[in-house]
Amino acid sequence: MTNGTVEPTDDRPSGRRRLGGLLVDPAPLRLDRDFRLLWIGQGISTLGRTFTLVAIPYQVYVLTGDLLAVGALSIVQLVATLIFALGGGAVADAVDRRRLLLLTQLGQAGCSLAFLAIALSAAPSLLAIYAVVFVSSALGSIDGPARAAAIPRLVPPERLHAAIGLNQLVFNAAWVIGPAIGGIILATFGVAAAYAIDVVTFASVIVALLLISPIPPAVDAVRPSVAAVAEGLRFARRRREVLATFIVDINAMVFGSPTSLFPALALDVFMVGPAGVGLMWSAVGFGAMLGALFSGWTTTVRRPGRAVLIAVAVWGLGITGFGLATFSFPLALGFLALAAGADVVSAVLRSGIVQLLTPDSLRGRVSSIHLLVVTSGPEIGNAEASLVASVIGTQAAVVSGGLLTLAGLGVIALAMPEFSRLDMRSAIAAAHGATPAQG
C-alpha cells in the first residue's frame, strides 16, 4: 500500500509469470483492432500461399524433369526483387499503405488465378509459369515494404516488438503446417487444387484490409523518384545501427545458410533418404515457430544490438553443430531447430531496431532495403554453399559456414561497436526530444 492506494498484485505462481514473460505478448491482438484484423487475414492467406509456393517447383519439375529449370525459379524471383524492391519502398512512403496493400494483394491473387489457369490448360507453358512468378515476385517486392512500414502505424511503440513477434509466429506456423497439407493436396487432387485454395484464401486478407483504417503517408512524404530511393539508402548508411542489422544478417545468411545442401546431406551424409530432406525443412520451420512463440522477452531488451549479436552467434553455433553431428540425425535436427529459432529471435530484434529508429516518412524505403537483404542473402548463401561443397565436401561446407559466421560476427562487433552499445530507450527518447526513462 502506497499513499493510501493498494498496489496491484500478480497472484499467479512465479513459474507462470516467468513463462508469460517468455511467450510472445498477445497484447496487440487484444488492444489493437486493425493489427488484429490484418494479422488474422494475413495468417489465413499465408497458409494458402504456402500451397502455391510448394506447388510451383513441383509442377516445373514434373513438366521438365530438370532441376536446373526448378533452380531458375529462384533466379526469376531474385531478379524481380532486385528490380522492384527499392522503388516499391519509395511508393510505400508516398501513398496510403492500406490502399497499396490492397492493390498488391489483389494482384497476387490474380497471379495465383493465372497459375490455376496454366495448370488447367491442355499444355502448361513453362515460360508462362516463369512470367507469372516474375510478376508475383515484383508485387511481393512492393507489398513487403508496405506491410512492414504499416505495422508501426497499427500499434504503439511499446507493442511493436510484440507485433513483429506475432507476425513471425503466424508466418512460421503456416510454414510448418502448410507444406505438409499442400503435399497431401498435390498428391490427392493435383496442382490446380493447390492454386485454387490459394486464390480463395486471399479473400481473408483483402477483407481485413477493407475493414481497417487508412494508413496515409507522413506529412513530409515525398513523391517516388530516384532521389527518394537515394534518400533511403543514405539514411541506412548514415544510421549505423540500422546498417549493422543488414550487415549482420548478410553475414549469417551468406556464410551460414545450408538449405541448398539438404538433399546431398540427406542422401550422402546422414543416409536418411528423401524423407530426411523433408525432416530438415520441418526442423527449420519448427525451430522458427518456437523462436517466435518464445520471443516475448524481446520487448524488454534495452540493448537489442547486443542481443542480436548473441542470437546470431547461437545461429552460427547451431549450424556448426548441425554439420558436426553426422553420427546422430535426431541431434543434427535439434541443432538445426536451435539455429532457426535463434534466427527468428534475431529477425524480431532487427526488425524492431529498423522500424523504431527509422522516421515514418522513410520506413517504406528502409524496409525495402531490409527486404533486399533477407531475400538476396539466402540466395547468395545457397550458391556459396554449393560452390564450397563442390571443393571441400558437403559436411565441411556446413561446418566452415557456421565458423565463418562466428568469425564475421566478431569482425562486425569490433568494427561497429555502437551496435552492441545501442540503448533503445535513449534512442527513442532522443528521436522524440524526451528524457529516457530510468530502469
pLDDT in tens, 333-383: 999 999 999 999 999 899 888 888 888 888 899 988 888 888 888 878 877
The whole-angstrom separation of Cα 145 and Cα 42 is 15
Give the residue among 302, 299, 337 at the shortest CA–CA distance from 318: 337
Give the residue among 323, 338, 333 at the shortest CA–CA distance from 255: 323
| SS3 state at 2 | strand
pLDDT at 430: 67
Count of beta carbons in the 10 Å neighbourhood of residue 128: 14
pLDDT at 249: 93
The answer to whether residue 228 scores a pLDDT higher than 80 is yes
Long-range Cβ pairs for the range 374-379 (8 Å, 24+) = 374/249, 374/253, 374/347, 375/77, 375/78, 375/81, 375/85, 376/78, 376/81, 376/82, 377/249, 377/250, 377/252, 377/253, 377/254, 377/257, 378/253, 378/257, 378/259, 379/74, 379/78
**Mean pLDDT within 385-412:** 90
Contact by Cβ (8 Å): 305, 420? yes
**Mean pLDDT within 212-218:** 92
The string of DSSP codes covering 93-130 is HHS-HHHHHHHHHHHHHHHHHHHHHHHHSSS--HHHHH
The answer to whether residue 438 scores a pLDDT higher than 60 is no
The answer to whether residue 165 scores a pLDDT higher than 50 is yes
| pLDDT tens, position by position, 43-99 | 999 999 988 888 888 888 888 887 678 778 878 888 998 899 889 999 999 999 999
Give the residue among 174, 209, 198 at the shortest CA–CA distance from 114: 198
pLDDT at 9: 42
pLDDT at 172: 82
| pLDDT tens, position by position, 88-136 | 999 999 999 999 999 999 999 999 999 999 999 988 899 999 999 999 9
| Exposed e or buried b per residue across 59-75, where buried means at least 16 C-beta atoms within 10 angstroms of its C-beta | bbeeeeeeeebbebbbe
Contact by Cβ (8 Å): 229, 88? no
**Mean pLDDT within 242-246:** 92
The answer to whether residue 393 scores a pLDDT higher than 90 is no
The whole-angstrom separation of Cα 166 and Cα 276 is 29
Per the prediction, the chain carries an average pLDDT of 86
The whole-angstrom separation of Cα 326 and Cα 340 is 18
Give the C-alpha distances (Å, rounded to integers) separating 137 from 113, 178, 225.
Answer: 15, 20, 21
> 7: pLDDT confidence band, cut at 50, 70 and 90?
very low
The whole-angstrom separation of Cα 164 and Cα 169 is 9
> 22: pLDDT confidence band, cut at 50, 70 and 90?
confident
> 18: pLDDT confidence band, cut at 50, 70 and 90?
low
pLDDT at 436: 40
DSSP 8-state class, residue 218: P
The enclosing H or E element of 209 equals helix 191-211
pLDDT at 20: 53
The string of DSSP codes covering 155-204 is S-GGGHHHHHHHHHHHHHHHHHHHHHHHHHHHHHH-HHHHHHHHHHHHHH
- The structural domains of the chain, ordered by start, are 23-224 (1.20.1250.20), 236-439 (1.20.1250.20)
**Mean pLDDT within 287-307:** 87
The answer to whether residue 8 scores a pLDDT higher than 80 is no
| pTM given for the model | 0.77
The answer to whether residue 17 scores a pLDDT higher than 70 is no
Please provide the size of the chain in residues. Answer: 439
pLDDT at 157: 87
pLDDT at 391: 86
For residue 258, what is its C-alpha cell? Answer: 545450408
The answer to whether residue 431 scores a pLDDT higher than 70 is no
Maximal CA-CA distance, the chain:
80
> 205: pLDDT confidence band, cut at 50, 70 and 90?
very high
